[in-house]
Amino acid sequence: MKRILPPWVRPRTLIAVAAAAAILAILPLVHGNRYWHNQLTETLLAIATALAWNWLGGYLGQVSFGHAAMFGLGGFIAGRMQVSLGVPMIAAWIVAGVIAGLYALVWGHPTLRLRGPYFSIATIGVGEATRLICTYWVWLTGGSSGMSLPVQVQLKYQLYWYALALALVALAVSYALRRSPLGLALLAIKSDVDAAGDVGVSAVRLQDLVLFLSGMTMGVCGGFYASYYSFIEPGDMFGFARSISFVLMGVIGGIGTIAGPAIGAVIFVLLRNSLIATYPQLYLGLYGLLLIFVILFEPLGLTGLYVRILRRARPDLGVTGMAAEESAVPATGAGAARVEQREAK
% of the chain at pLDDT higher than 90: 51
Q: Give the range among 19-28, 82-91, 314-323 with minimum mean pLDDT.
A: 314-323
Mean pLDDT of 253-280: 84
Q: With 70 as the cut, is the pLDDT of residue 337 above it?
A: no
Q: What is the pLDDT of residues 240-249, one digit of tens each?
A: 889 988 998 9
pLDDT at 30: 86
CB neighbour burial string for 286-314, b if at least 16 within 10 angstroms, e if fewer: ebeebeeebbeebbbbbbbebbbebbeee
Distance CA 280, CA 297 (A): 27
Domain extents for the chain? 11-243
Closest-CA residue to 83 (of 222, 237, 226, 242): 226
pLDDT at 280: 67
Closest-CA residue to 77 (of 69, 282, 322): 69
Residue 1's pLDDT band (cuts 50, 70, 90): very low
Q: Give the range among 151-165, 255-269, 284-298, 314-328 with minimum mean pLDDT.
A: 314-328
Helix (H) or strand (E) holding 180: none
Most distant CA pair in the chain, distance: 64
**Helices (DSSP H) in the chain: which residue ranges?**
11-30, 34-57, 68-84, 89-111, 117-136, 138-141, 155-179, 181-191, 193-198, 203-229, 234-237, 240-253, 260-278, 283-297, 301-313, 321-326, 333-344
CA atoms within 13 A on the CB side of 62: 28
Residue 338's pLDDT band (cuts 50, 70, 90): very low
Give the distance, in angstroms, between the CA of residue 143 and the centroid of all CA atoms in the same chain. Answer: 27
Q: Which residue has the higher pLDDT, 278 or 147?
A: 147
pLDDT at 112: 87
pLDDT at 323: 43
Answer whether 182's CB lies under 8 Å from 59's CB. no
Residue 317's pLDDT band (cuts 50, 70, 90): low
Distance CA 267, CA 154 (A): 27
Distance CA 269, CA 292 (A): 18
